[in-house]
Structures are given as structure tokens and as C-alpha cells.
Amino acid sequence: MNRLGIIAVVAAAIVAVALPFFLAPFGIYLISMWTVLTIAAIGLNLTLGYAGQVSLAQGAFVGIGAYCVALMTQAGWPYPFAFVCAGLLCFVIGWILGYPALRVQHHYLAFVTLAFTTLVFLVLRNEEWLTHGIYGIDGIARPTLLGWSTGEALDFYVFSLGALTVLAATTWWMLRSPWGRAFVALRENPIRALSLGLDTRRYTLMAFAIGSSLGGLAGALYAPLVQFIEPSSFALGLSFNLLLMVIVGGSGYFFGPFVGALIAVLLPEWLRVTQGYYLIVYAAAVMIMMALCPSGLLGLAERAAKAVLRRDPPPVAPLRIEVTEP
């Protein structure tokens, strides 16, 4: 990452920390939702942007994580334990769901995951003994960690921002590791990756499972944030939205999900003047962007930055070796 990028990230981090002090409770709720959706989108970006597997199941994993945490905390288990369980559960289910990914590619995989999302929705809706069906689960308590209650909006935002930071840092570290390189190799040229001795089978499963577990962890934060969950929140619409977030932000860019989730959270508020029409505007904007710049907003920014740099070369051109980043 170049210096400009570092400055941008630091500035964004300062804004993220300082912003809640200038916001009403609803604003804090919105940016808390942003942290939650960003975590889920980071997971999907791992599967889609880095490993190149199209998944329409991320929303279902958010649902599984949310229900896992809601049911476990209401049964009296401590929140941190439930949080870890949500991640592990989604890891295992993601691993199993990853098997079809080995047999099929691209559009077929999209349909398998689409079917999975619908199945999860049906189970959540129909198994009333467990999930209370369409009535959902309400009164989900916000956790108290080591005596620190996150019941207030601001406290919960700090907690979820902390979770986002830790999970994003872990993902960043993982992508720098040989594992992350292997994921990219899978996307760029699976046959070459295989011929270089990468166990593509294992890495594909791994990408899917890790991405899914991040979805589950996002769900584990979603449940106490909203304090009410119901099956239809986790239907296909959420998976589509998460997919759009990753694409709009820029799939394969580490910070793409941050940008995409921010737009998904803020746009309905900004476009409130258009009243009911905001989804139409959003959908039209996505279609236009796909036609002009399918690499997303960060891809657009990168292109713009390159254009500016090329037009305005430094007086003494420093010797630079271009390392193509994914």
C-alpha cells in the first residue's frame, strides 16, 4: 500500500472513532450496523474477491450466527462463548457447503449457495420449537464483558468497532501469509496453482469456510445490536445486498467491503428525499457502475489516482518497481 493509502486509512480510522460523539443514537445505530455488515462483507470478499468463488449464502451465515448467539445467550450461556460458537458453527457449515464448490464453478456455485440460503430461511421459519418461526426472537440482551456493559448505543459501537478492527487485522495478516497468496492464485489461475503444488481442494474449502465464519461472527454482533431477529431478515435479499456491497466497494480490494457497506448503510438515508424510490436509484446506480467500472468504487479511485499521477509526474522520477497487488 502506498503512502496515500495509509493516510486515507488513518484518516478513516480517526473518523470512525470520533464520529459517534457527534451523532444521535440513531446515527450510532447506523454506524454500528456498518461495522456488522463490513465484517460480513469482508468474509464474502475473501470467498469472492480473493478466492474467486461466487457465493449467495453470506446472508444465511449471518442468520445462522445471529440465531446461534440469540438462542445460546437466552439459554444462559455467556456471550463470548456464544460468539466463538457462532464463528465455529459457520466455519463447519461453510466447509461442508464448500464441497459443491469443488465440483462446480461460477454460476452453478451461485445457484447451490442460493438454494442453501433458501433452505436456511425455510428451516428458520418452520422449526418453531427452536427459532419461534415468523415471530422471531426479541429481547436479545447486549453483552456485558468483564463488567463493562455494552447496553448503551455508544458502548456497543465501541465493542463492535473493536471486533471489526480485530477481525479485519486478522484477515489482513492472513492475506499476507502464504494462505492468502494461495487464495489469489486460486482465483487467477487454478490450473497453474495446482501445477505449482498447491492443494487447491483444501484452499477452496478453506476460503469458503473462513469467509462463512466471518459471516457468522457478523451475525453474532447483529443479534445484540438489533435485539430482534426474524427469518426474513436473512432471506435471499441480505445475501444479494452483501454481494452488491462487495462489488460496489470493489471486490478483491481489502478495503472494498468497508466502502461498500458504508454506501449500503448511508445511501437509504441520503436518498430519503427520493422517498420510496431509493431502491430504484440504487439499482440503477449499480447497473451503471457495472457497465462503466466493474472493479467497484476502489477500482475507480485507483484508476483516477493513476491518471492523476501520470499527468503530473514528479520532477525527478524515482525508480519504482511496480508490484501488482491483487
Partner 1 sequence: MASFVQLVVSGLATGAIYALIAVGFTLLWQTSQTINFAQGEFVMLPAFFILASMNLGAPFWLAALIGIALSILVLGLLFKLVIVDPMLKHGVLPLVISTIALSLFLKESAKDFYSSQAQPFPALVPSTDVHVFGAVVSTQSLAVLAVAIATVVALHLLLNKTRLGRCMQATAQNPTLARILGIPVRRMVLYTFLINGALVAIASILISPIYLAKFTNGETLGMAAFLAAIIGGFNQVRGAILGGVILGVLDNLSAAYISSQYRGAFPLLILIAVILLRPQGLLGRIEERTV
Judged by the rule CB under 8 A, the positions of this chain that interact with partner 1 are: 54, 99-100, 103-108, 110-112, 114-116, 118-119, 122, 126, 190-191, 236, 240, 243-244, 247, 276-277, 279-280, 282-284, 286-287, 290-291, 294
| Closest separation in Å from C-beta 119 to partner 1 | 5
226 in Cβ contact with 32 (< 8 Å): no
Map residue 229 onto helix, strand or coil: strand
Query: Which residue's CB is nearer to partner 1, number 5 or number 133?
Result: 133
Map residue 316 onto helix, strand or coil: coil
Can you give the C-alpha Rg of the chain in angstroms?
20
Going along the chain, which residue ranges are E strands?
Answer: 137-138, 144-145, 148-149, 228-229
In the structure grid, which three cell numbers stand for residue 277, read together?
A: 424510490
Query: Which residue's CB is nearer to partner 1, number 29 or number 95?
Result: 95
Query: Which residue's CB is nearer to partner 1, number 70 or number 114?
Result: 114
| Closest separation in Å from C-beta 325 to partner 1 | 20
Helix (H) or strand (E) holding 143: none
Query: Which residue's CB is nearer to partner 1, number 103 or number 272?
Result: 103
| Closest separation in Å from C-beta 232 to partner 1 | 12
| Closest separation in Å from C-beta 262 to partner 1 | 18
Query: Which residue's CB is nearer to partner 1, number 92 or number 286?
Result: 286
| Closest separation in Å from C-beta 240 to partner 1 | 6
- Helices 296-311 and 278-292, packing angle to 10 deg: 50
Query: What whole-number distance in Å separates Cα of residue 74 and Cα of residue 190?
Result: 45
The residue whose grid cell reads 450461556 is: 77
